[in-house]
Amino acid sequence: MTTRVGNWGLISLSPQVGGLSDGFPACLDGRFAGSGPVATVGVMSSSDVSGPRDLNGRVVRQGRLARLTARLRGGSSSKPLELADEVVVVAESDDDAVASSTALEGSDWRADDEVILRHDLELPSNRVQEAAELASLDGYVRIHDDRWGPLPDAAVAGHEMLVLARVQTLDALHLSQERSRMASLGSRHGGIARRWAVLQRPAG
């Protein structure tokens, strides 16, 4: 069974990454069944505008009442999370066999708060830019600095680390979906997705 997801083409619905219980996409091939290659249409990245995000990293347009309620609450917790904010790692893994639901249940992740979802990919140096541009169509931003600690080193000569991140709300299903998305992105560009991490503002 295949289905279309965002700008990434067709995916096969097969529980292969993150555990059999998650039931999320595991393969992206960028084609419609029985047709030619999919044409990619440029969209504005959700990183270009501010506001609370949904489970797919898209900015949620708030109504006047919601904006007023958020303003009356005050405090930093009412402000949409940004990639430049102070955050800490609340969940992470470099083990493809660990189910997303298991990883989140055993962590400090807070389901009601926005997260920064980070992925570290190791790719051939000449494929990094192409992969980053493709990921940007779904709101991911390439991280060049050490805002969350030193950038990891590539383990293979001629390869380079690509760190991607975006703000979104999160649940186990969508974490699994993004893990599969990044595994496919890495594979299609001659590399691998090495690890992922969920970051949130410090509790309290």
Please return the burial class of 96, using the count of CB atoms within 10 Å of its CB with bins 0-12, 13-18 and 19+: middle
Which of 27 and 193 is assigned the larger pLDDT? 193
pLDDT tops 50 at residue 168: yes
Q: What is the pLDDT of residues 59-107, one digit of tens each?
A: 876 555 555 555 555 544 568 999 999 999 999 999 999 999 999 998 9
Q: What is the pLDDT of residues 114-131, one digit of tens each?
A: 999 999 999 999 999 999
CATH number of 45-200: 3.30.70
Model confidence band, residue 29 (pLDDT cutoffs 50, 70, 90): very low
- Helices 172-188 and 128-136 meet at what angle, rounded to 10? 150
Vertex 68, ends 66 and 69: CA angle to 5°? 65
Q: Map tokens 């898209």 to a residue.
A: 58
Strands (E), the chain: 2-4, 10-13, 25-28, 88-93, 115-124, 141-142, 159-168, 192-200
Model confidence band, residue 39 (pLDDT cutoffs 50, 70, 90): very low
Per-residue pLDDT at 24: 38
The tally of CA atoms less than 13 A away on the side-chain side of residue 142 is 15
**Domain-wise residue ranges, the chain:** 45-200
Tokens of 197: 């991490």
pTM assigned to the model: 0.69
Tokens of 9: 């083409």
